Structures are given as C-alpha cells and as structure tokens.
Amino acid sequence: MKYKYLLFLLLAFSSLYPQKTLEDVPSKVFNDTRVVSVVLPTLYEENEKKNYPLLILLDGEYLVDPFQGMLSYTSYWDDLPQAIIVGVNHEGAEGREYDTQTYKSTGLPEGQGDQFYQFIANELIPYMEDNYRVAPFHVVAGHNLTGGFLNFFLYRDKPVFNAYISFSPIMPLEMENRVASALTDVNKKTYYYMATASGDVKKIKEKINALDDNIKAIENPNLKYKFEEFEGASHYSLVALGIPNALYFIFSKYQPISSKEYEEKIVTLESGYVDYLKDKYDIIRNDLGVNEPIRLNDFKAIEAAIIKNAAYDELEDLADVAKKEYPKMIIGVYYQGLHHELKGETRKAIRSYLKGYNYESIGDYTKDLIIEKAEVLKNLVE
C-alpha cells in the first residue's frame, strides 16, 4: 500500500512540470524516425542562458511520469536540479524486446538492439544537444530489460553517460563481469545506482547480486556506487522507491548546505571554510553540469562558521567570491566591511559599508542593513 501511495505522490507532482510533448527524432540508423517524450523544466524558455542535465529514460512509456513528479517536487525546494527529461518509447512489449535484442552467444547487442544502441548514443543525444540547452551531464535510467541494456553504454571507450540508474536489470551473458570491468577503468566521475527488492525475481537477483559483489570490489576514486534492496517490495514496486533514492544519490552535492552538513563538515574545520564552499560549487558546476550561482543561504552558512571559529581573515576571501558571483550586488562589499569590522578596523569598515550604497540589494543584504551597520560604527568612533 505504501508503495502505491508513493507512486501517487510522484505522479501528482508531475503536473507541476510542463506537460510532455512527443517528438519525432530523425534516425539514419533506423532509416525512419523514433518517437520520444520531451519534458522541459519550468521556466525553460525564460531562463535563456541556463543549461540543464539530460535525463534519458528507457521505457519512457511508464518511467517519465514518476521521474517527472519527483524532479518537480525536489526542484520546487531547490533540493535537486531541474533536468531535461527524454522518455524513449518502445511501442509496446514486443518493441521493447526488439530494442534490447542481444546475441545469446556473446551477450552483445544484435539486430534492432544494435540499432537502438546506436540511435541513443549517436543520434538522440546529439539531437538533444543541438535543439535544447543541454548541460554536459547525461543520465540514463531503465528497468528490467532496459535496466540491463543501459549497461552497454559503459562498454564504449568514451561513455556518453555520466550516471546510470538500473532498476532490477535483466542481464545477458557476462554482463555482471563486463560492467565491473568497465567501471574499474572509468577515468571521469561516474555514478552508478542499482536496485532490487526482496520480492524480485530469483533468477534476476542472482546476477544482480553477482554484479553488486563485483562492483563493491572495485577501487576507483572516479566511481560513485550505490546498491539497494528494498524489503517487502516487488520487481515492479521497487521502481517507485528507487527513483528518489537514485536522484538524491547522483545529485547529492547539489543540495543546499544543511544544518547537518554545517555541523558535521563545515564548522568542525580548522580553516578553509571558503575553500569548502568553492569546492562544493566546483562539483555542482563541473561534475554535475549545473551552472548555478552560489546560494545566499550557503554564503550565510560559511559566514557563520568563520565567525564562530574567529577566522576573520577568511571573510576577505568570502568577499572576493561574493563579488565574483554577484558583481552588482551589495553582498561582496558587505563581507568586506564585516571583515574590517571584526578585525577592529572600524574606519575601513564604515567606508566599505557606505560603498555598498552604490550596489543593489539582494536577499537580506540590503541598503538599510549596510547603512545601519555604518551608523552603529560611527557612533563608536565619535
């Protein structure tokens, strides 16, 4: 019952994202077109300079809505980034089997399976990059047959995906060994999520468990791996549970600084608070392909850690970062003034605060705030 309720919530929130549209993607491989569902983020048209991660869903007929619902909910709270969602349709169960066709003797794509593989890697991704503002971070997800098929993209010398979400994969010959071998050799940050359930099909679970054992033995700093087995779930209901966990696993670094992160990872540092902030957003921008400005609340968290640990010199570094992020806003000169104030350089602090009057307010960093700060300090020196 709880799995049905979770799925209901995911579907309900999908209405907050724009509705999906069907597109015919031209394909030389198929000498025809393939139908895909495209769902763009809210305000995609208004944010003309913003790029978005690309999420390609095999089994698009039934995976688009729950993924769309979860991203709609989490992006509303700025917990996860919005993404461009592409659902690849298979035209029913028979089409799905043809699209995932493999040689029994080699375990590699055969016939239409090979065509489908080429279509995704060499036609669909370039088509999306040419027609939409796609960030250089690509995720692929699938379930059952497609959950196994998506692993073929790891076999390439230069994989086209940065993250893989595999729900109860049905794996052809030797895949449990080949995937582990491929992940051993990845030379860029790669996220791999796999899920099964206590009620999953026994034959499928045997290979899943073997692959899990093989991946856990890998020592590669570029690999980020998460495996889950959902107690009481089935081969089908595990998808509803796995979607949020997979997305939070892949995009965990995107989340704003939480109270737990502040207490356990930031305020406990002896120094390097500003470096922590810069490193966090380097990951968001470079690894996840999300070019977001540093959140104001994240600035406040670093400010609080600096003040609590009396590391006032770092406020100057924080001011430099703020000026770069928001060159027309008050926040940079505010931190410059705060640096002088806490260092006991009162007159310099007054000048810095008053200089901020020429800049624009942003959030809590307002002209009223800096005038008030300057007036208080003036009273101290008169």
335 lies in which domain range?
259-381
Cα distance between residue 376 and residue 26, in whole Å: 67
Q: Out of 254, 278, 298, pick the residue that ends a domain.
A: 254
Is 136 found in the same domain as 123?
Answer: yes
User: What span, in angstroms and rounded, lies between the C-alpha atoms of 6 and 173?
Assistant: 34
pLDDT at 382: 63
245 and 269 in a common domain:
no
- Whether 154 and 6 map to the same domain: the answer is yes
Whether residue 19 is predicted with pLDDT greater than 80 in this model: the reply is: no
- List pLDDT tens digits, range 158-179: 999 999 999 999 999 999 999 9
Instruction: Tell which of 233, 254, 275 closes a domain.
Output: 254
Q: Do 202 and 97 fall within a single domain?
A: yes
Both 221 and 311 in one domain: the answer is no
- Work out how many domains the chain is built from and give that number: 2
Residues 142 and 268 in one domain: no
State what percent of residues in the chain have pLDDT above 90: 85
The answer on 77 and 122 residing in a single domain is yes
* Confidence band for 5, pLDDT divided at 50, 70 and 90: very low
Query: Is residue 124's pLDDT more than 90?
Result: yes
Per-residue pLDDT of 184-194, as tens digits, reads 999 999 999 99
- pLDDT in the model for residue 205: 96
309-332 pLDDT per residue, tens: 999 999 999 999 999 999 999 999
Per-residue three-class SS string for the chain: CHHHHHHHHHHHHHHHCCCCEEEEEEECCCCEEEEEEEECCCCCCCCCCCCEEEEEECCHHHHHHHHHHHHHHHHHCCCCCCCEEEEECCCHHHHHHHHCCECCCCCCECCHHHHHHHHHHHHHHHHHHHHCCEEEEEEEEEECHHHHHHHHHHHCCCCCCCEEEEECCCCCCCHHHHHHHHHHCCCCCEEEEEEEEEECCHHHHHHHHHHHHHHHCCCCCCEEEEEEEEEEEECCCHHHHHHHHHHHHHCHHHCCCCHHHHHHHHCCCCCCHHHHHHHHHHHHHHHCCCCCCCCHHHHHHHHHHHHHCCCCCHHHHHHHHHHHHCCCECHHHHHHHHHHHHCCCHHHHHHHHHHHHHCECECCECHHHHHHHHHHHHHHHC
CATH classification of the domain holding 39? 3.40.50.1820
pLDDT of residue 1: 47
Q: How confident is the model at residue 93 (pLDDT cuts 50, 70, 90)?
A: confident
pLDDT at 8 over 90: no
Question: What share of the chain in percent tops pLDDT 70?
Answer: 95
Q: What is the pLDDT of residues 130-147, one digit of tens each?
A: 999 999 999 999 999 999
> Looking at residue 10, what is its pLDDT?
52
* Per-residue H/E/C for 177-243: HHHHHHHHCCCCCEEEEEEEEEECCHHHHHHHHHHHHHHHCCCCCCEEEEEEEEEEEECCCHHHHHH
The per-residue pLDDT for 18 is 63
Q: Do 241 and 367 fall within a single domain? A: no
What CATH number corresponds to the domain at position 307?
Answer: 1.25.40.10
Task: State mean pLDDT over 261-287.
Answer: 96
Cα angle value 146/147/152 (rounded, 5°): 80
Average pLDDT rounded to a whole number, residues 195-218:
96
Same domain for 285 and 201, yes or no, is: no
Mean pLDDT of 53-60: 97
How much is the mean pLDDT over the chain?
A: 93
Say yes or no: 231 and 277 in one domain. Answer: no
| Closest C-alpha among 348, 298, 304 to residue 325 | 298
Last residue of a domain, one of 254, 287, 319: 254
Q: Are residues 237 and 289 in the same domain?
A: no
Over residues 220-252, the pLDDT tens digits come to 999 999 999 999 999 999 999 999 999 999 999
- Residue 12 shares a structural domain with residue 95: yes
Instruction: Give me the phi and psi of 193, to 5 degrees please.
Output: -120, 130
